[in-house]
Structure 1
Amino acid sequence: MMIDLDPVLDTLALTRVADDRYRGENLPIGTGVVFGGQILAQAIIAALVGQDGKSVKTVHTVFARGGVPDRPMEISVDRVHGGRTFASSTVTFSQDEKVRSRSMVLLSAEEPDLIRHADTPTPAPSPAPTEKAVRRLQSVIVGDVDLNSPDLVGPPDLDVWSRWADAPDDPGTSQALIAFASESFLIGTAMRPHEGVGQAQGHVTLSTGVISHTITFHQACDAGSWLLSRLHSSYTGGGRAYGRGDIFTEDGRLVASFVQDSMIRAMQTSVDGSRPRL
């Protein structure tokens, strides 16, 4: 999936309609539903309004219903708490007066270390240099793993380098873009050990989708630089999958971590051949 930067930035330019109320446009990606990574990114942008001196620490989002791409999202922010160090808000996404998704966003101010440690990655081949930085999300799967093919199998692990080429130099936008990209590869990672199952079957013979996604930012990071996502799916069964990932800079700093619950099940059809609601 090729995702250009400018249309994504357009979805992050929320239109204010009242205090803590916004309208957000959707990114057309051809699946018939609003992409969950867009919701994560918009939740970060909405929660940061009026929170000077703080950055997003954790976003936990539940995708209750699929959004319709051709109608804007109505976004409401309810401020739960605001203090000198911490703040928290819920961000609700609605269409047609129905809640589609809801995020709980924790923000915090930077504090000095009392203690510090962090995991470091085992070596992974860095992406080959590109002659021209095209303004889009660039993703390189280590080892050229083909997640689309149902015939190839491997361990439930995946390493992916990614960057948003020419991304704005803004901390909040970087967090939003990194959250956007973190949503993409864990379903494919969960499919890897299972012959006859691949991402190419998603929305065709398989019903796949993210149910919930949580990302925590440990340190400031630049979405325009190459970042390594190290992914692992620890469980798949009962039509569901669970996976987690860590995000590292090229010099090995751990900057974010995320977990995801998803759905992977056979596509069900009604007697008339139509697809029932999930």
Structure 2
Amino acid sequence: MADEHQQIDDATLTRAFVDVLTVERIEENFYRGIATPQGRGRSFGGQVIAQALSAATMTVPDDRPVHSLHGYFMRPGDATQPVLYQVERDRDGGSFTTRRVVAIQHGAPILNLAASFHVAEPGLFHQDEMPEVTPPEDLPTEHALAETMREDLPEMFLKWLATPRPVEMRAEFPRPPFDRTPRPAVQHMWFRTKGNLGDDPKLHRAALAFISDFGLLGTSMMPHGKAFADPDMQFASLDHALWIHDDFRVDEWLLYVMDSPWAGGARGFNRGRIFTRDGRMVANVAQEGLVRNIQRKG
């Protein structure tokens, strides 16, 4: 989210992240999200999902938090340009509210998203247990890991790591390109924002929507040792679904437990469960993406 040669403190990064998650009302049911700061190339899918959710949330009463969203990516976004979001107010029921959002750039839709909001109600309860994992304090950051093996990593990946980001991630298992040994399609990733996000639960849910796109698609490549920086691979998110079960803070450690039960036909299917540090399951995620082998000419 910034030039790789700048040194930016965590508070500044967090303020920029909040700006990315926040949309501006420009007309009834029309909202605008800013471009990626110092962005270039394709937009990050999680950013478009998060801004679309923020636009939908602005049309819903505060006592109805989002509990699910489903989005389809139709065209690559342009990270250098803002995005227009058009919200359709499909239904305001007794306990559920539904919204549809179209994200538009250069006169064409790049994302369709449906979201559902629900008033808080008591109900029957059960959940999966959080797996036993290494605590985040005992895991290296990706930057620290890269410093130990710079000569073995693709230059594109090193440039990506050098760009300051508002979210810190620590993986229990080194993923490609750190380790290309074929392994089961499972990832355990701790994450949190580097700065305080404040107390607005709507902002934390938008932040989770953004971060839920990190690393998920790469899970389907763990058995094959492939990475996003590989020149013979083409990756893109095709759709994204998120179910939010309970409140949480994204500026405190959350565990992202990911697996990929299937890949084939140039697509990979991936699932994720998100837990608080004390073991509460607060979200589930599913995504299918393009994982295409390509042959470079020349």
Counterpart position of 1:162:
191
Corresponding residue number in structure 2 for 1:244: 271
1:149–1:198: 8 Å Cα contact kept in structure 2?
Answer: no
Find runs of 4+ consecutive structure 1 residues off by over 6 angstroms: none
> What letter corresponds to residue 68 of structure 2 in structure 1?
T
TM-score w.r.t. length of structure 1 = 0.88
State the distance in 2 between where 1:205 and 1:150 align: 17
| TM-score after normalising by structure 2 | 0.82
Task: Tell whether the 8 Å contact from 2:91 to 2:98 is kept in structure 1 after alignment.
Answer: yes
Say whether 1:8 aligns with 2:34: no
The residue number in structure 1 matching 2:80 is: 70
Match of 2:133 in 1: 124
Residue type of the alignment partner of 1:86: F
The Cα RMSD (Å) is 2.3
* 1:119 Cα deviation after fit: 0.9
Shifted more, 206-215 versus 29-38: the winner is 29-38
Give the C-alpha shift of residue 250 in structure 1: 0.6
How far is the alpha carbon of 1:152 from its aligned partner?
A: 2.2
State the identity as a percent. 29
Partner of 2:168: 138
Does the Cα contact within 8 Å between 2:40 and 2:80 map onto a contact in 1?
no
What number of residue pairs does the alignment pair up? Answer: 263
**Cα distance, 1:13 vs. partner?**
2.5
SS in 2 for 1:128: helix
Asked whether the 8 Å contact 1:142–1:159 carries over to 2, the reply is yes
Shift, 1:30, TM fit: 5.5
Q: Which residue does 2:32 correspond to in 1? A: 23
Is 1:175 matched up with 2:200? no
1:211 paired to 2:238: yes
1:44 maps to 2:35: no
Q: 2:67 aligns with which of 47, 50, 57?
A: 57
Unaligned runs of 5+ residues in structure 1 are 274-278
In 1: Cα distance, 2:131 partner to 2:179 partner? 28
Equivalent in the alignment of 1:230: 257
1:8-43 deviation line (CA, Å, top 9, x unaligned): 211222121100101111225766111111112112
Q: From 133, 137, 148, give the equivalent of 2:177.
A: 148
Deviation track 1:24-68 (CA, whole Å, cap 9, x = no partner) reads 112257661111111121122111113221000101010000111
Instruction: Single out whichever of 154-163 and 119-128 deviates more from structure 2.
Output: 119-128
Q: Which amino acid aligns with 1:192?
A: M
Kept in 1: contact 2:175–2:222 (CA 8 A): no
The CA distance in 2 between the partners of 1:217 and 1:224, in whole Å, is: 17
Partner of 1:84: 94
2:218 aligns with one of 174, 178, 188 = 188
Aligned to 1:99: 109
Structure 1 residues 140, 69: closer, same or farther in 2, change over 3 A? Answer: same
Aligned 8 A contact 1:150 1:198 in 2: no
> What is the alpha-carbon distance in structure 1 between the residues aligned to residue 180 and residue 251 of structure 2?
34
Paired residues of 1:161 and 1:227 also in contact (CA < 8 A): yes
For 1:33 and 1:97, the matched residues in 2 are separated by: 16
Deviations 1:233-274 (A, max 9, x none): 0111110000101000111000000000100112366x8x8x
Offset of residue 205 of structure 1? 2.6
3-state SS, counterpart of residue 190 of structure 1: helix
Amino acid at match of 1:222: R
CA contact (8 A) 2:272 2:285 kept: yes
Residue identity in the other structure for 1:26: A
- Show the counterpart of 2:160: none
Whether the aligned pair in 2 keeps the contact of 1:81 and 1:87 (CA below 8 Å) is yes
Of 30, 34, 37, which residue of structure 1 is paired with 2:43? 34
Q: Distance in 2 between matches of 1:164 and 1:94?
A: 28
Distance 1:226 1:150 in 2: 24
Higher-helix-fraction structure: 2
Counterpart for residue 199 of structure 1 = 228
Which blocks of at least 5 consecutive residues in structure 2 are unaligned? 3-9, 140-163
